Amino acid sequence: MSKTWRVLQTAGGAGTAPPAMSSPLLALCHFCELHGPRVVFTTEVRAAHQPEPAADPAGPPRADRCEGCTSVATPDGGFCSQDSEVAGRWYCSQQVPSDPDHAALLRQGCARSLSCEVCPGPDGVIYFGDEVRGHVISHNFSLSDVNARGSQRNYSIVVLSADKHLLLRNWSFYGQQLRQIGRDLQTSASRVFDAEDEPLAMEDFPLLVNRPRAPRRRSSQSVKPSRSLAEITGAPDVYRSLHQLFTFVLRSGESRFVPLGGGAAPAARGVSQLPPITTALHTLLGPRLRQLRTELGPENFRDIISHVLVGHQLVLRGRENDVTSVIDAFRLLLPASCYSPLPYSSAYQQPHRCNLLGVPPDARLPAQLAKSVIVARLGDGGEERRAALEVVTARPGPPPTLVAQLDAALANQRLPDALLDHRLASLRQDWKSKSEQLFEYWSGEHGDGGRSQADTQAFIAALGCQPCDLPLLQFWMTSS
């Protein structure tokens, strides 16, 4: 049997070839009018590009597939793109995954995405899954087709992974990319639909006047319960294009949350360009926070960052150089949109103007401070004058999980100063990503206003968060 693999050269990111199921699978699924939910096209990461038998042992025999639920003509047909920067890493596309276990999981995800899982509207991105059957992000959409029942054929694009956290951290990225691919397919299908679904001439209906739209007739083609995606979209190379797009999504999704990239991330040639991933840290800020923790004591320091992380105002008394250096260091702990400092002011300023304020040691504070204000005094380094808390008007409740993570990093003396900044920036990026996912959940296609408290708690738990983290997520989310 002749091989039908087409090898496409692609650039890639740093790393090594992953073992089985260490990377997500990306697949196009279709609800066939003859055979029900079917996996049509799958892209996966492999250690070699040699074709392997299509693994569909528990599925229907090949004879039970029609042109609507078939993408490649032969079991070992497909496309492959080599990662030019990682030896032995390939992005390969076939009808179904080469591994039988992965194929079985993908079939289950396909059936759920097209049948029992529900999105807020006719189109939308949803998440479902568990540790046994894998975790799935699915974008459901429909394509116009004059020969389909109701003139619509239902499709979904699914991302299957064994790593729930990888999927949810990339929720915004995957959702955006899958929606864009779906919109491109819908645009192509609509052009074909309009060309085939010709309007009837007005003279055929002499008694109808002031009609807003002329009736339409079916094309001369016979009604077909099954039709290939290439025919629906009018794109003979549609699967080649999908392979390129799926390759881009898989590779960039894996590299998207590397927190300490240097400059621009590598791009997939001939497919698209990746956004730059940068974390510029020109000075070491972590050691100053570590020093403040030592001076205040761990408990007092945790009180301070518990307030700061949820948006409460921190007022620091002390000499200008000491105060400004600490306030500058706090930008390691907060997203840029949440970092609103006034490094040094001769008089007190209200919380709506700044959430980090430095004042001289003798500055007068209002007799009645807002409940969301915490005041600390910085020492001058002498034995008699060390940093201390002066005013804690109200504790913010149970501290967010991030407080313990930051405190552990600062307390770890085996972590060098040069790596401490990197660790703190990585933790900040991780929680910023979680706040963005919560924002996406509460807005956009998910902003139907009907989310119950139980639904929200379940989603927060899926992010790996607890109820005590909600104030932090809300502050970081609303400041985006």
Q: What pLDDT does 389 receive?
A: 67
Q: What pLDDT does 160 receive?
A: 92
Q: Are residues 175 and 307 in the same domain?
A: no
In 3D space, the residue among 455, 453, 425 whose CA is nearest the CA of residue 285 turns out to be 425
Q: What pLDDT does 340 receive?
A: 87
Q: Are residues 305 and 162 in the same domain?
A: no
Measured CA to CA, the distance from residue 13 to residue 30 in angstroms comes to 31
Q: Which two tokens stand for residue 283?
A: 């000075």
* Phi, psi (deg, nearest 5) at residue 45: -95, 130
Q: What pLDDT does 66 receive?
A: 79
Q: In angstroms, what is the C-alpha Rg of the chain?
A: 28
Instruction: Give how far Cα 318 sits from Cα of 6, 349, 365, Å.
Output: 67, 16, 14
Split into its structural domains, the chain has a count of 2
Q: Are residues 151 and 294 in the same domain?
A: no
Burial class (CB in 10 A: 0-12, 13-18, 19+), 25: buried
Q: What is the pLDDT of residues 414-471, one digit of tens each?
A: 888 878 888 888 898 889 888 888 888 877 554 445 567 788 888 888 888 988 999 9
Residue ending a domain, choose from 239, 255, 271: 255
Q: Are residues 300 and 403 in the same domain?
A: yes
Tell me the residue range of the domain where 186 lies: 5-198+226-255
Q: Are residues 316 and 427 in the same domain?
A: yes
Those residues whose C-beta lies under 8 Å from the C-beta of residue 380, and which sit 6 or more positions away, are 318, 319, 322
Is the pTM higher than 0.75? The answer reads no
CATH of the domain at 415: 3.40.50.12430
Q: Which two tokens stand for residue 51?
A: 């074709």
Q: Are residues 306 and 184 in the same domain?
A: no
Distance of CA 219 to the CA centre of its chain: 42
Q: Are residues 248 and 310 in the same domain?
A: no
Q: Which two tokens stand for residue 122?
A: 């006719």
Task: Confirm whether 122 is domain-assigned.
Answer: yes
Q: Are residues 231 and 315 in the same domain?
A: no
Neighbouring C-beta atoms of residue 289, cutoff 10 Å: 22
Task: Confirm whether 251 is domain-assigned.
Answer: yes
Q: Are residues 333 and 421 in the same domain?
A: yes
Q: Are residues 39 and 138 in the same domain?
A: yes
Q: What pLDDT does 446 receive?
A: 46
Q: Are residues 247 and 289 in the same domain?
A: no
Q: What pLDDT does 479 receive?
A: 57
Q: Which residues in the chain land under pLDDT 70?
A: 1-22, 48-64, 73-77, 84-86, 119-122, 198-225, 255-283, 380-396, 444-451, 478-480
Measured CA to CA, the distance from residue 49 to residue 241 in angstroms comes to 18
Residue ending a domain, choose from 209, 239, 255: 255
Task: Confirm whether 214 is domain-assigned.
Answer: no
